[in-house]
């Protein structure tokens, strides 16, 4: 009825190749952006920001980053936690060494440094493929965590090795530290999310992205048609690590404010982000958001239902959470193996024809 | 004999022993991957679940006691009996077989022919699920596992080597038992695969699903069989590791120790898992002893195992014993 | 939990409807995850004490106490969620129970004006109340622990540790690295040789470390371990036949969970403590009567009297006493978190008061001041008796070397103050 392309004429190539070719879709997208930017900041309090929006937004960036590598370029990586740690520690060192620079610069630079490290650890991907590569990236994960724990320079020689984000501002508004406002941290992260999604979307549908996908689908064939695997794989590692680094920097500075490398950026983090993109959908920007939402919101929702509404003991709820999340993953897979993004696509296809069956 | 050399040999031997324990965990991965192409992320949780079940049965714990008490307001904990270890191991095996059936029936039957990453993800879901169920069933306290395995320094070796070198080597009795069990297990698996009808069918499935189907091998049966075998290996690994640390959540993390072994040995080779385990065990222990602890501040084992495997992989991308990757366009 | 889920749900709904003027004590517990075995008894002890106070004394100063439990699974992110979701309910004092959560709550609680009590964990230099206005870590911290272990060894060795070799086996994390500086200072002062042996998380494989100990033959081993690392370390120590009485763990390596898996081999293992062990106190009769028999015990009720249960109980007692002090200072029974902070800063624990509470000699007598949020730092030593399956206090709470610790506290808190532009709180 409403969701269809009838009467929606494109008169130029750019119009034809835009991200949301259907007018209704486009308006829906603008509406989401409008709500996210102009409505939510006025409604949220500390709880909403710290328990739901910040983790969702930051994990979305990490998921977009990893999705570029795994979903678009086909290089399975389990080093996400380590790369987030690089972002976090780079951000910490920058924040403490150059207190006068703006937070945006710190975060972007942290992303850049992570990109460099990512390229370095991406080199084995030229030889090693598939699950073997996944396990090889674990070397990066364990080594980086060990390094940040081991070398006191990274945590400014503090007694315990924890790093704490000092107070820093952007345009005169507190972004990190304890005296922040909910709306400020939210908008700051949202800015990076929109930026990442925009860059990722446009990279993946451009020539760079098509090279990645050619490598993903069959690297030898891609090589034969003239894609340079060295450049394609390493750019994927660089871009992916850039986003992951940004998310690590935000995770440390804006969200938690203090982290310890082994606990915050351990192997479980790598797995968590990988789960997000698989559940959300490989090779889909929307999937990154959906997966992050699924794994961030579901436990919180289950906890609220179980503990706050039903009054069950907290440990039983926590165990049931695992059971429910596990069962849902399996059920989703059986229903739709290609993730939430595919469910979304199918739903949209159905809507286009609605109310007619064919 | 210079002392440093004696120490090095001791570290080497202990590395071999640790490697056997890693290999035990890695075996479970290999079995399933070879037969069905599934990278079973849940293997570590299966070891935990098996060990929890074993202790629960031995101690006569009431399954889901906490949940039952919460719902019904009762106060049940134990049946009040103690099951001897051997019987309990048998019963646990029955549970693992039932689990294998359920996994096959309700999960993987619906996912036949899917891409490896999707099968991998299904095992992630399974891992979450089993972790939750395991905790609900048996509670999350640390449980002491005592099936009568010997532990502690082997005096005979200590004294003999003292006579030879003037320095007594330390070898843990538990490690010796583990090594013997690992040898028996691998021999058993190889014999089973070579000389029984089911074993041959299993290898046929591993080679080619469709060809196996066309000659009348039941994929369903083979996969249940393979998952049961993996469950058995998980149980053995759970007993070995559980004897050291008590049965607790962290048991599921031993899977991380198996990953470098797997990639070094190749995902598809049973001997590869053993050899890979030994190389990783020796490599990480020697590195920690010679370089890590004196120069790098220690605790290098975790990442060095992966680095070692990575270096091997750069030269042999399919692992030491993995099937040669032939790529065609 | 001996009530039905259904009735509990109804009760929760009914409880939620009227605005209750009760004292809220959130408990950020971890009954799941890798460290559940340590979290369950602490959470049980914390909850049971308040249930007992409510039943026996009718609450604190006539106002009922309410424990708000929130499961963190020892995960920092869940800890944030728990903090944010409970602080709106008038939470009086936080017990984050994890070093990671502590570090990230220190600035938050200060900004929100809610006190936090990190008893025997967290950021050690928070003992300096001049900088950390809302964080308390009385009665003892990690550096007291390190010094306490050395003081105990000094006593054992007739006041002389010259030429002795002491090894520190530690969890390779922020927590495990805490004692290193103190021990290095003490090594310089007393002339013993310190060797450091980090164990990476989770610590299931410690053969390298213990082989090294077997080769180096240190006179004593001190352990800062956590989770599965403890059980494996004690087992490995037994395997190499390291004399257990020379092996001392910090209080997080000294519970029943840590020694039971090793069985008889763990006999003689020692651990530091800052509170009493065992269930030989009148308070346990009250708990039995008012809580367990009434069917209100938290958890399965099988943890009563264990080391970590006692620790939870002790933490609850200190919180309740601080609340009572706050009520006295501000002359109102219905206190706010800010008043609670004042109460904690003016807290005075005397032997007479502890006896009155049915907990004679349960912990040291001490008082807190604005400058000193860390208490006296008195450390006792307990020893495991595998035959009787119980911990015994073998060395009473003794003073630690504040000459070494205080400069370290001042330096670390000073750098925090300059990094974050914190003005002096006590002037």
Instruction: Assign C224 to helix, strand or coil.
Output: strand
Alpha-carbon span B279 to B264, nearest angstrom: 9
The CA dihedral of B186, B190, B193, B194, to the nearest 10 degrees, is -170
Indicate if C263 and C328 belong to the same structural domain.
no
Q: How near does any CA of chain B get to the CA of A31, in Å?
A: 34
Indicate if C44 and C63 belong to the same structural domain.
yes
Is the CB of C76 less than 8 angstroms away from the CB of A146? no
Alpha-carbon span C248 to C221, nearest angstrom: 6
What residues does A46 pair with on adjacent strands? none
Indicate if C58 and C116 belong to the same structural domain.
yes
| C296 touching B (Cβ < 8 Å) | no
User: Domain holding C333: CATH number?
Assistant: 3.40.50.2300
pLDDT at A88 over 70: yes
Which token pair is B165?
A: 């070198």
Residue A213 within any structural domain of the chain: yes
Average pLDDT over chain B reads 86
CA angle A126, A130, A135 (to 5 degrees): 90
* B224-260 burial: b if 16+ Cβ within 10 Å, else e: bbbbbbbbbbbbbbbbbbbbbbbbbbbbbbbbbbbbb
pLDDT of residue B47: 93
Indicate if C39 and C129 belong to the same structural domain.
yes
Query: pTM for this one?
Result: 0.90
Residue A354 within any structural domain of the chain: no
Percent helix, strand, coil in chain A (nearest 5)?
75, 0, 25
Alpha-carbon span C122 to C223, nearest angstrom: 17
* Contact in structure between C74 and C35 (CB atoms under 8 Å): yes
Over residues B22-31, the pLDDT tens digits come to: 888 898 888 8
* C151-174 burial: b if 16+ Cβ within 10 Å, else e: bbbbeeeeeebeebbbbbbbbbbb
Q: Left, alpha or beta for A177 (phi > 0: left; psi -120 to 50: alpha)?
A: left
pLDDT of residue C220: 93
- What number is the average pLDDT over the span C43-53? 91
Q: How near does any CA of chain A get to the CA of C417, in Å?
A: 10
In total, the C-beta contacts within 8 angstroms joining chain A to chain B are 139
* Contact in structure between B282 and B15 (CB atoms under 8 Å): yes
Residue A344 within any structural domain of the chain: no
Find, among A189, A187, A163, the residue nearest to A85 by Cα.
Answer: A163
pLDDT at B2 over 80: no
Residue A274 within any structural domain of the chain: no
Question: In terms of residues, how long is chain A?
Answer: 358
What residues does C398 pair with on adjacent strands? C379
The H or E element containing residue A91 is helix A80-97
| C11 touching A (Cβ < 8 Å) | yes
Indicate if C151 and C79 belong to the same structural domain.
no
| A319 touching C (Cβ < 8 Å) | yes
pLDDT category at C4 given cuts 50, 70, 90 is: very low
- C-alpha dist (Å) from residue C45 to A30, A191, A319, C384: 53, 45, 21, 21
Residue A62 within any structural domain of the chain: yes
What residues does C135 pair with on adjacent strands? C116
Instruction: Please report the residues numbered 256 through 275 in chain B whose beta carbons come closer than 8 angstroms to any beta carbon of chain A.
Output: 256, 259-260, 262-263, 267
Alpha-carbon span C237 to A193, nearest angstrom: 51
Alpha-carbon span C235 to C229, nearest angstrom: 10
Residue A273 within any structural domain of the chain: no
pLDDT at C10 over 50: no
Is the CB of B151 less than 8 angstroms away from the CB of C200? no
Indicate if C147 and C260 belong to the same structural domain.
yes
Q: Which residues constitute the domain of residue C338?
A: 5-139+278-369
Residues in B touching C1 (Cβ below 8 Å)? 66, 69-70
Question: In terms of residues, how long is chain B?
Answer: 329
pLDDT category at C8 given cuts 50, 70, 90 is: very low
Q: How near does any CA of chain B get to the CA of C413, in Å?
A: 26
Indicate if C325 and C225 belong to the same structural domain.
no
Which token pair is B283?
A: 């490599």
pLDDT at A111 over 90: yes
Q: Single out the residue in C344, C369, C394 at which a domain terminates.
A: C369
Name the burial class of residue B113, with classes exposed (0-12), middle (13-18) and buried (19+) by CB atoms within 10 angstroms of its CB: exposed
**Low-confidence winner among A345-354, B99-108, B258-267, B320-329 (lowest mean pLDDT):** B320-329
Residues in B touching C260 (Cβ below 8 Å)? 142, 144, 246
C198 secondary structure, DSSP code: E
Instruction: Please report the residues numbered 42 through 101 in chain A whose beta carbons come closer than 8 angstroms to any beta carbon of chain B.
Output: 76
> How many structural domains comprise chain A?
1
Indicate if C325 and C348 belong to the same structural domain.
yes
pLDDT of residue A2: 64
Residue C181 within any structural domain of the chain: yes
Alpha-carbon span C87 to B59, nearest angstrom: 42
> How many structural domains comprise chain C?
2
pLDDT category at C426 given cuts 50, 70, 90 is: confident
Alpha-carbon span C286 to B96, nearest angstrom: 45
Over residues B179-217, the pLDDT tens digits come to: 899 889 888 988 888 899 988 888 888 778 788 889 888
C116 secondary structure, DSSP code: E
Chain centre to alpha carbon of residue C371: 21
Task: Give me Rg for the CA atoms of chain C.
Answer: 21
Alpha-carbon span C371 to C132, nearest angstrom: 9
Find, among C12, C47, C17, the residue nearest to A312 by Cα.
Answer: C12
- C-alpha dist (Å) from residue B294 to A83, B298, C220: 28, 7, 20
Q: Which residues have CB under 8 Å from C354's CB, separation 6+?
A: C360, C361, C362, C363, C365
pLDDT category at A116 given cuts 50, 70, 90 is: very high
Alpha-carbon span C359 to C310, nearest angstrom: 11
A172 secondary structure, DSSP code: T
Alpha-carbon span A72 to A93, nearest angstrom: 32
Name subunits touching C (3+ CB pairs < 8 A): A, B
Residue C415 within any structural domain of the chain: no
Indicate if C95 and C12 belong to the same structural domain.
yes
Residue C23 within any structural domain of the chain: yes
Residue C317 within any structural domain of the chain: yes
CA angle C83, C88, C89 (to 5 degrees): 100
* A91-126 burial: b if 16+ Cβ within 10 Å, else e: bbbbbbeeeeeebeebbbbbbbbbbebbbebbebbe
Which residue on chain A is closest to C69 by alpha carbon?
A314
* Contact in structure between A354 and A3 (CB atoms under 8 Å): yes
pLDDT category at B1 given cuts 50, 70, 90 is: low
pLDDT at C17 over 60: no
* Contact in structure between B114 and B99 (CB atoms under 8 Å): no
Over residues A291-309, the pLDDT tens digits come to: 999 888 888 888 888 887 8
The H or E element containing residue C29 is strand C23-29
Residue A14 within any structural domain of the chain: no
- What number is the average pLDDT over the span A273-288? 89
Q: Which of B14, B146, B257 sits opposite C207 (nearest CB)?
A: B14
- What number is the average pLDDT over the span B39-53? 91
Q: How near does any CA of chain C get to the CA of A8, in Å?
A: 45
Do the bridges between strand A169-170 and strand A173-174 make them parallel or antiparallel, or are there none, so unpaired? antiparallel
| A124 touching B (Cβ < 8 Å) | yes
Cis peptide before C202 (omega within 30 of 0): yes
C244 secondary structure, DSSP code: G
- What number is the average pLDDT over the span A342-354? 83
- C-alpha dist (Å) from residue A311 to A308, B71, B169: 6, 12, 57
* Contact in structure between A142 and B303 (CB atoms under 8 Å): yes
- What number is the average pLDDT over the span C342-358? 90
Instruction: Assign C348 to helix, strand or coil.
Output: strand
Question: In terms of residues, how long is chain C?
Answer: 427
Residues in B touching C389 (Cβ below 8 Å)? none
Q: Which residues constitute the domain of residue A208?
A: 20-263
């Amino acid at each position: 009825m409403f969701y269809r392309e009838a009467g929606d004429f494109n008169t130029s190539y750019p119009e034809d190749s835009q991200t949301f070719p259907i007018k209704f879709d486009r308006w829906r997208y603008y509406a989401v952006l409008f709500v996210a930017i102009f409505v939510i900041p006025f409604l949220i309090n500390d709880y909403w920001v710290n328990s739901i929006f910040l983790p969702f937004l930051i994990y979305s960036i990490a998921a977009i980053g990893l999705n570029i590598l795994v979903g678009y370029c086909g290089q399975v990586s389990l080093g996400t936690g380590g790369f987030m740690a690089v972002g976090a520690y780079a951000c910490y060192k920058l924040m403490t060494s150059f207190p006068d620079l703006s937070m945006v610069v710190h975060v972007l630079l942290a992303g850049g440094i992570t990109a460099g490290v990512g390229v370095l650890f991406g080199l084995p991907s030229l030889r090693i493929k598939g699950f073997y590569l996944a396990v090889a990236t674990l070397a990066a994960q364990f080594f980086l965590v060990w390094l940040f724990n081991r070398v006191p320079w990274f945590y400014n020689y503090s007694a315990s090795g924890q790093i704490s984000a000092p107070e820093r501002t952007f345009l005169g508004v507190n972004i990190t530290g304890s005296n922040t406002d909910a709306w400020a941290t939210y908008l700051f992260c949202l800015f990076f999310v929109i930026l990442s999604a925009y860059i990722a979307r446009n990279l993946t549908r451009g020539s760079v992205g098509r090279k990645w996908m050619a490598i993903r689908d069959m690297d030898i064939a891609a090589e034969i048609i003239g894609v340079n695997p060295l450049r394609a794989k390493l750019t994927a590692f660089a871009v992916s690590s850039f986003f992951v680094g940004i998310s690590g920097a935000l995770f440390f500075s804006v969200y938690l404010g203090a982290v310890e490398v082994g606990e915050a950026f351990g192997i479980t983090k790598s797995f968590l982000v990988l789960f997000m993109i698989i559940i959300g959908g490989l090779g889909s920007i929307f999937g990154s958001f959906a997966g992050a939402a699924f794994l961030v919101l579901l436990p919180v929702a289950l906890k609220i239902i179980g503990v706050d509404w039903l009054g069950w003991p907290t440990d039983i709820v926590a165990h049931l959470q695992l059971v429910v999340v596990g069962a849902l993953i399996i059920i989703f897979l059986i229903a739709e193996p290609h993730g939430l993004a595919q469910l979304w696509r199918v739903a949209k296809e159905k809507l286009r024809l609605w109310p007619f069956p064919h | 004999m210079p002392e440093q050399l004696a120490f090095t040999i001791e570290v080497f031997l202990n590395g071999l022993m640790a490697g056997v324990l890693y290999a035990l965990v890695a075996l479970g991965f290999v079995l399933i991957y070879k037969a069905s192409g599934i990278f079973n992320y849940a293997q570590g949780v299966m070891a935990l679940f098996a060990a929890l079940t074993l202790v629960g049965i031995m101690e006569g714990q009431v399954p889901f006691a906490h949940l039952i008490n919460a719902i019904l307001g009762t106060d049940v904990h134990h049946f009040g009996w103690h099951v001897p270890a051997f019987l309990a191991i048998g019963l646990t095996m029955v549970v693992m077989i039932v689990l294998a059936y359920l996994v096959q029936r309700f999960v993987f039957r619906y996912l036949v022919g899917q891409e490896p990453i999707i099968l991998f993800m299904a095992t992630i879901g399974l891992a979450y699920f089993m972790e939750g169920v395991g905790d609900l069933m048996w509670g999350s306290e640390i449980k002491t596992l005592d099936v009568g395995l010997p532990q502690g320094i082997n005096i005979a070796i200590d004294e003999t080597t003292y006579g030879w070198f003037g320095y007594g080597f330390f070898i843990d009795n538990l490690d010796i038992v583990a090594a013997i069990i690992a040898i028996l297990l691998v021999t058993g698996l190889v014999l089973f695969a070579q000389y029984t009808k089911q074993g041959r069918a299993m290898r046929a499935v591993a080679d080619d699903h469709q060809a196996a189907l066309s000659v009348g091998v039941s994929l369903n049966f083979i996969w249940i069989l393979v998952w049961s075998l993996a469950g058995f290996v998980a149980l053995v690994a759970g007993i070995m590791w559980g004897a050291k640390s008590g049965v607790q959540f962290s048991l599921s993390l031993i899977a991380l120790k198996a990953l470098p072994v797997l990639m070094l040995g190749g995902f598809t080779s049973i001997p590869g898992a053993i050899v890979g385990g030994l190389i990783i065990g020796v490599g990480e222990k020697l590195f920690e002893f010679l370089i890590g602890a004196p120069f790098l501040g220690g605790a290098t084992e975790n990442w060095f195992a992966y680095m070692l495997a990575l270096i091997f992989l750069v030269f042999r991308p399919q692992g030491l014993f993995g099937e040669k990757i032939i790529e065609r366009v | 939990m001996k009530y039905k889920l259904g009735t509990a749900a109804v009760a929760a709904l009914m409880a939620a409807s009227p605005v209750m003027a009760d004292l809220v004590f959130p408990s950020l517990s971890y009954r799941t995850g890798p460290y559940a075995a340590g979290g369950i008894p602490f959470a049980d002890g914390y909850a049971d004490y308040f249930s007992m106070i409510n039943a026996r004394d009718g609450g604190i100063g006539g106002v009922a106490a309410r424990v708000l439990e929130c499961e963190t699974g020892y995960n920092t992110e869940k800890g944030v969620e728990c903090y944010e979701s409970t602080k709106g309910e008038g939470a009086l004092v936080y017990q984050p129970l994890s070093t990671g959560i502590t570090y990230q709550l220190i600035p938050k609680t200060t900004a929100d004006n809610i006190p936090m009590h990190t008893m025997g964990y967290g950021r050690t230099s928070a003992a300096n109340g001049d900088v950390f206005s809302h964080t308390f870590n009385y009665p003892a911290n990690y550096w007291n622990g390190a010094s306490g272990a050395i003081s105990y060894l000094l006593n054992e060795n007739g006041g002389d540790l010259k030429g002795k070799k002491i090894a520190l086996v530690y969890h390779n994390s922020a927590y495990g690295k805490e004692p290193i500086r103190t021990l290095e200072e003490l090594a310089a002062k007393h002339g013993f040789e310190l060797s450091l042996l980090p164990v990476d998380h989770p610590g299931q494989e410690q053969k390298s470390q213990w082989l090294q100990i077997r080769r180096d033959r240190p006179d004593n081993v001190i352990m800062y371990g956590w989770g599965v690392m403890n059980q494996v370390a004690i087992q490995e120590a037994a395997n190499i036949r390291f004399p257990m009485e020379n092996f001392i763990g910090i209080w997080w390596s000294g519970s029943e969970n840590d020694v039971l898996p090793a069985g008889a081999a763990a006999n003689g293992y020692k651990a530091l403590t800052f509170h009493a062990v065992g269930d030989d106190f009148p308070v346990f009769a009250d708990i039995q009567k008012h809580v367990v028999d009434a069917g209100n015990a938290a958890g399965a009720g099988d943890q009563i009297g264990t080391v970590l249960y006692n620790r939870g109980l002790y933490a609850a007692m200190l919180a309740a006493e601080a609340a009572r002090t706050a009520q006295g200072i501000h002359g109102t029974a219905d206190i706010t978190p800010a008043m609670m902070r004042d109460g904690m800063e003016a807290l005075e624990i005397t032997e007479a008061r502890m006896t009155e509470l049915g907990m004679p000699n349960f912990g040291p007598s001490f008082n807190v001041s604005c400058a000193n949020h860390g208490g006296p730092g008195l450390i006792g030593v307990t020893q495991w008796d595998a035959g009787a399956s119980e911990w015994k206090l073998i060395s009473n709470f003794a003073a630690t070397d504040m000459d070494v610790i205080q400069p370290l506290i001042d330096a670390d808190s000073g750098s925090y103050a300059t990094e974050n532009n914190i003005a002096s709180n006590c002037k």
